[in-house]
């Protein structure tokens, strides 16, 4: 059984790459696997990155268009699907920023995922968003989204995954919702992190083992101003600009909330903090020893993209793509559990940590 996957808000291909590289599951002489059918995103560089890495022989299956102008019938003409993934934009649900929630520009876009489910009725779906979604609009946004996903005809399993517990070298926490169509006798259970507890998820291992080739793509360094270098010299591994012992001329005059990731150095023996895709000075993730920001290739390693995954576009565009992506290694764990569920294969599971309250 090859599940044909369609994607909305596909990003550069974190979910797509996970899908096509998840090992097939075999049961009763049947192979269960996932293959790319089509994908859609609004950003040209992002679409180019996806097509280059996920479907290099069929760039026409990546539709670069604002989802509000997307014709779902045209997607159906490309290919029918029996799986749908959508990591709907998280900007308004993030814990960083204005937190407008479902009333923001991006918040309502989840409804296009619901629309696709109702129109295309795939056998299953995977929806992804930031942990802050639970608290947006006093929790009402999350409840509304879950209800609409269920009302589309699916039994849903929402869970807040801490990806550093699943072999990802980064403290990245994301809500993943798996839905199985109600007429299908398959039950999905949250995969346990237990099989991954002995994986070395330190920033040092991710970035240095093996060394990044001098010929690697997306590996150019940032040219820092002198005062930035002097500031970094005084910030120890794991510290940020606010808890380091800095002279007054190197301190930041910030009013209000102090974001702990500003000029924060990685700790080499711990997972990275969350890699972000936007922000000004001090938000680029900083090496624990060298007085510099990480390169995009180093950030991509923390996101578990392989070195041969080529990001298209300018340096800043690539940074945005990497920061907005879902770590493929984490999603592969979930896809493997999904395939085992359909194949009737047992796997170690845990209780979901998000309970439905409608």
Q: Spell out the SS3 assignment of 145-211.
A: HHHHHHHCCEEEEEEEEEHHHHCCCECCEEEEEEEEECCCCCCCCEECCHHHCCCCCCHHHHHHCCC
pLDDT range class, residue 257, cuts 50, 70, 90:
low
**90 noted as active-site residue:** yes
Domains present along the chain, CATH in parentheses: 2-196+326-350 (3.40.50.150)
Q: Which distant-in-sequence residues (6+ apart) come within 8 Å of 126 by Cβ?
A: 15, 83, 84, 85, 86, 176, 177, 178, 179, 331, 334, 335, 338
Question: Which one is catalytic: 47, 55, 64, 90?
Answer: 90
pLDDT at residue 100 tops 80: no
pTM for the full predicted model: 0.93
pLDDT in tens, 4-61: 999 999 999 999 999 999 999 999 999 999 999 999 999 999 999 999 999 999 999 9
The phi, psi pair for 7, rounded to 5°, reads -135, 135
**SS3 state at 83:** strand
Read off the DSSP letter of residue 293: B
pLDDT range class, residue 88, cuts 50, 70, 90:
confident
Hey, what are 273's tokens?
């903090």
- Across the range 283-295, mean pLDDT stands at 97
pLDDT in tens, 124-152: 999 998 777 777 666 678 888 899 999 99
pLDDT in tens, 212-230: 999 999 999 999 999 999 9
pLDDT in tens, 177-198: 999 999 999 999 999 999 999 9
- Across the range 337-349, mean pLDDT stands at 98
């Amino acid at each position: 059984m090859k599940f044909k996957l369609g994607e909305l808000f596909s990003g550069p291909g974190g979910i797509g790459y996970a899908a096509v590289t998840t090992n097939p599951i075999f049961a009763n002489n049947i192979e269960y696997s996932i293959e790319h059918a089509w994908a859609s995103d609004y950003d040209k560089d992002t679409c180019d990155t996806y097509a280059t890495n996920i479907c290099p022989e069929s760039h026409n299956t990546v539709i670069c268009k604002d989802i509000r102008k997307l014709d779902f019938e045209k997607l159906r003409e490309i290919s029918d699907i029996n799986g749908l993934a959508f990591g709907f934009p998280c900007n308004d649900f993030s814990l960083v920023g204005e937190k407008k929630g479902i009333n923001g520009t991006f918040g309502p876009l989840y409804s296009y995922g619901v629309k696709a489910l109702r129109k295309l009725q795939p056998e299953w779906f995977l929806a992804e968003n930031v942990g802050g979604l639970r608290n947006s609009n006093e929790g009402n946004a999350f409840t509304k989204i879950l209800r609409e996903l269920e009302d589309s005809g699916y039994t849903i399993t929402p869970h807040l995954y801490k990806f550093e517990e699943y072999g990802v070298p980064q403290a990245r926490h994301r809500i993943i919702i798996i839905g199985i169509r109600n007429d299908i006798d398959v039950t999905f259970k949250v995969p346990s992190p237990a099989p991954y507890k002995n994986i070395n998820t330190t920033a040092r291992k991710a970035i240095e083992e093996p060394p990044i080739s001098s010929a690697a793509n997306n590996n150019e360094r940032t040219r820092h101003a002198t005062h930035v270098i002097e500031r970094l010299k005084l910030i120890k591994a794991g510290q940020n600009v606010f808890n380091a012992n800095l002279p007054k001329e190197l301190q930041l005059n910030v009013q209000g909330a102090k974001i702990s990731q500003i000029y924060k150095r990685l700790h080499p023996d711990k997972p990275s903090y969350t890699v972000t895709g936007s922000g000004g000075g001090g938000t680029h993730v900083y090496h624990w020893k060298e007085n510099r920001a990480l390169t995009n290739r180093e950030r991509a390693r923390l996101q578990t993209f392989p070195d041969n995954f080529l990001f298209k576009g300018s340096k800043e565009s690539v940074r945005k793509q990497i920061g907005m992506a879902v770590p493929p290694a984490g999603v592969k764990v979930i896809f493997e559990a999904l395939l085992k569920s359909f194949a009737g294969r047992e796997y170690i599971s845990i209780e979901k940590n998000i309970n439905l309250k409608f």
